């Protein structure tokens, strides 16, 4: 039989579940990627992720060619194009890795229908997570909504079988080169309607070679992850999020190494594995509770939190703009927003700080921040982003209690004590002392003049007073307490 391998968020050859199954099942396998107009058309014309995908496809195509195959790349509406290609290529089955985001599930259901009408099978496989959907349940068969028991059950269940790589290359002789009319180089960004971003100037290597290089680098310091991961000025985390998002690394490989090291007593690796388990946790939350992020309008995991009256109107819009542009007057918040705006990355500690600031200092609906992150994060992942925002706004499954409100100044003093991170992203504050940099409005006029800082001119005054905002937030959230 002949098969079509449809690549989506799994842009690698090695240890690719669907590719392995396709090669085993079929005598000939043609590979395709579709730049899906349904996803791309609504996006702004500069997007680092589209460029990341494009660069990764160039590498994937070269790798497939070296193995005797190649990649057909289309720019079309995927759900029409796949059925069309299946007909043109006369395949009996289409193979893909599962994607449980609500929009992807709906798309795949329609593709399955169209293929079924044409007598073509559609096979999908788990590849994005170690455990998915119903694989980790409580003893009474319910999905978990608290992380710690989920993690315990996850660790009890995982074994060599779940972490074993798929030996794709062993079956590579079934790869077929694209037939002539479909054989073409990967289109340039301009051909799919996008302009170049600043991706190539950033330290974000693309493709599976880029993913492997980042992992090698992280592997050298994984034992220090525990101690380093909370400090945004330190190279503590792996920066692999974007590679996990687009499948240029295999979750089995990463979790396998981390699991092995943690069994040997490496505390850094154990903490990192925990983060990968958080990822599985949020994926299964989305699978079981799609209402949290379905149809473009997210809803609170705990419904009573949707009764909260968020600050809205013109002043709220101004506050939101200040947050987006990093002009709140709180240096750590503003430096973090500069990081996402300039690079598409934001350190985890800072994601928590700016998310808390948005809903608990500015009193704005967390969904506004969620949408902003969705547009700007290179590693945007619907399940984890929604989970992170609902954690910060306290509306989520295993969330920060609503009365726990980060103080942005104290967070800054604790996690960026010498202001190194702030100085990198807010050079206009670089000359302030370690004591003043976290809260420039507390500096003496003499120090401000000496440091060249003019509050309200080259750096904003705080847009809210934290202590007052805290009181307002406790009142705003009282409606939740009344319900509980």
- Percentages of the chain per state (helix, strand, coil), in multiples of 5: 55, 10, 35
Of the residues 348, 413, 441, 447, which is catalytic?
348
Instruction: Report the Cα 335 to chain-centroid distance in Å.
Output: 20
Of the residues 132, 135, 275, 447, which is catalytic?
275
Under rule CB under 6 A, residue 271 binds ligand FAD: no
6 versus 357: smaller Cβ distance to ligand FAD: 357
Contact, 387 vs 379, CB < 8 A? no
Quote the CA–CA distance of 9 and 250 in Å, as a whole number: 11
Of the residues 132, 294, 310, 441, which is catalytic?
310
* SS3 sequence of 201-240: HCCCCCHHHHHHHHHHHHHCCHHHHHHHCCCCCCCCCCCC
Q: Which stretch binds ligand FAD (CB under 6 A): 188-196, 291-299, 328-336, 380-388?
A: 380-388
Under rule CB under 6 A, residue 131 binds ligand FAD: no
Contact, 47 vs 7, CB < 8 A? no
Under rule CB under 6 A, residue 340 binds ligand FAD: no
Under rule CB under 6 A, residue 388 binds ligand FAD: yes
Please confirm, yes or no, whether 378 is among the known catalytic residues: no
Q: Nearest residue to ligand FAD, using CB? A: 388
Quote the CA–CA distance of 309 and 298 in Å, as a whole number: 16
Closest C-alpha among 284, 287, 203, 218 to residue 249? 218
Under rule CB under 6 A, residue 259 binds ligand FAD: no
Please confirm, yes or no, whether 323 is among the known catalytic residues: no
Residue ranges in 281-300 that form contacts with ligand FAD under rule CB under 6 A: 282
124 versus 385: smaller Cβ distance to ligand FAD: 385
Question: Minimum Å distance from CB 246 to ligand FAD?
Answer: 11
How many residues are there in the chain?
A: 484
Under rule CB under 6 A, residue 379 binds ligand FAD: yes
DSSP state letter for 454: -
Question: Minimum Å distance from CB 379 to ligand FAD?
Answer: 4
Angle at 158 between CA 153 and CA 162, to 5 degrees: 140
Question: Minimum Å distance from CB 356 to ligand FAD?
Answer: 9
Please confirm, yes or no, whether 6 is among the known catalytic residues: no
Size of the site for ligand FAD (CB under 6 A): 27
Instruction: Report the Cα 367 to chain-centroid distance in Å.
Output: 16
Quote the CA–CA distance of 81 and 222 in Å, as a whole number: 42
227 sits in the region (left: phi over 0; alpha: psi -120 to 50; else beta) called alpha
Under rule CB under 6 A, residue 276 binds ligand FAD: yes
Chain position carrying tokens 């942005």: 408
Under rule CB under 6 A, residue 389 binds ligand FAD: yes
Under rule CB under 6 A, residue 302 binds ligand FAD: no
Under rule CB under 6 A, residue 377 binds ligand FAD: yes
Please confirm, yes or no, whether 278 is among the known catalytic residues: yes
Under rule CB under 6 A, residue 351 binds ligand FAD: yes
Quote the CA–CA distance of 168 and 13 in Å, as a whole number: 7
Q: Which stretch binds ligand FAD (CB under 6 A): 117-125, 232-240, 401-409, 469-477?
A: 232-240
Under rule CB under 6 A, residue 79 binds ligand FAD: no
Under rule CB under 6 A, residue 380 binds ligand FAD: yes
Under rule CB under 6 A, residue 392 binds ligand FAD: yes
Contact, 445 vs 338, CB < 8 A? no
Closest C-alpha among 408, 360, 418 to residue 231? 418
93 versus 276: smaller Cβ distance to ligand FAD: 276
Contact, 31 vs 56, CB < 8 A? no
Question: Minimum Å distance from CB 161 to ligand FAD?
Answer: 22
Which residues contact ligand FAD (rule: CB under 6 A)? 229, 237-241, 244, 275-276, 278-279, 282, 348, 351-352, 355, 373, 377, 379-381, 384-385, 387-389, 392
Question: Which positions are annotated as active-site residues?
Answer: 275, 278, 310, 348, 366, 389
């Amino acid at each position: 039989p002949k098969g079509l391998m449809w690549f989506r968020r799994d842009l690698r050859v090695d240890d690719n579940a669907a590719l392995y199954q396709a090669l085993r099942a079929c005598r000939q396998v043609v590979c395709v990627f579709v730049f899906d107009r349904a996803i791309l058309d609504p996006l702004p014309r500069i997007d680092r992720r589209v460029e990341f995908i494009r660069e990764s496809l160039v590498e994937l195509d070269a790798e497939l060619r070296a193995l005797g195959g190649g990649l057909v790349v289309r720019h079309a509406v995927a759900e029409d194009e796949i059925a069309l290609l299946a007909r043109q290529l006369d395949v009996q089955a289409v193979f893909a890795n599962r994607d449980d985001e609500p929009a992807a599930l709906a798309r795949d259901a329609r593709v399955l229908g169209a293929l079924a009408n044409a007598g073509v099978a559609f096979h999908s496989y788990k590849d994005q997570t170690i455990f998915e959907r119903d694989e980790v349940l409580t003893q009474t068969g319910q999905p978990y909504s608290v992380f710690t028991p989920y993690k315990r059950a996850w660790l009890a269940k995982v074994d060599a079988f779940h972490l074993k790589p798929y030996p794709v290359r062993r079956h590579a002789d079934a790869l077929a080169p694209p037939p002539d009319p479909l054989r073409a180089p990967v289109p340039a960004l301009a051909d799919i309607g996008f302009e170049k971003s600043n991706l190539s100037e950033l330290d974000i290597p693309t493709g599976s070679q880029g993913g492997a290089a980042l992992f090698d680098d992280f592997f050298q310091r994984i034992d220090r992850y525990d101690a380093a991961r909370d400090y945004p000025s330190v190279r503590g985390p792996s920066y692999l999020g974007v590679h996990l998002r687009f499948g240029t690394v295999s979750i089995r490989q990463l979790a396998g190494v981390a699991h092995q090291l943690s069994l040997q007593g490496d505390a850094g690796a154990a903490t990192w594995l925990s983060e990968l388990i958080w990822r599985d946790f949020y994926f299964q939350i989305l699978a079981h509770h799609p209402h949290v992020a379905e149809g473009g309008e997210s809803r609170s995991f705990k419904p009573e939190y949707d009764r909260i009256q968020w600050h809205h109107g013109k002043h709220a819009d101004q506050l939101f703009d200040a947050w987006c542009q990093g002009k709140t007057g709180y240096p750590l918040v503003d430096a973090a927003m500069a990081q996402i705006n300039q690079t598409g990355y934001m350190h985890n500690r800072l994601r928590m700080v700016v998310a808390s600031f948005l809903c608990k200092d500015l009193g704005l609906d967390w969904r506004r921040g969620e949408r902003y992150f969705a547009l700007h994060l290179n590693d945007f992942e619907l399940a984890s982003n929604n989970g992170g925002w609902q954690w910060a706004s306290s509306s989520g499954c295993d969330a920060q209690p609503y009365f726990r409100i980060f103080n942005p100044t104290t967070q800054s003093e604790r996690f960026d004590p010498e202001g190194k991170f702030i100085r990198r992203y807010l050079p206009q504050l670089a000359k302030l002392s370690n004591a003043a940099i976290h809260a420039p409005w507390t500096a003496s006029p003499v120090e401000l003049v000496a440091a060249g800082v003019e509050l309200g001119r080259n750096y904003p005054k705080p847009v809210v007073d934290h202590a007052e905002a805290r009181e307002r937030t406790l009142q705003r959230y009282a409606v939740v307490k009344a319900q509980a």
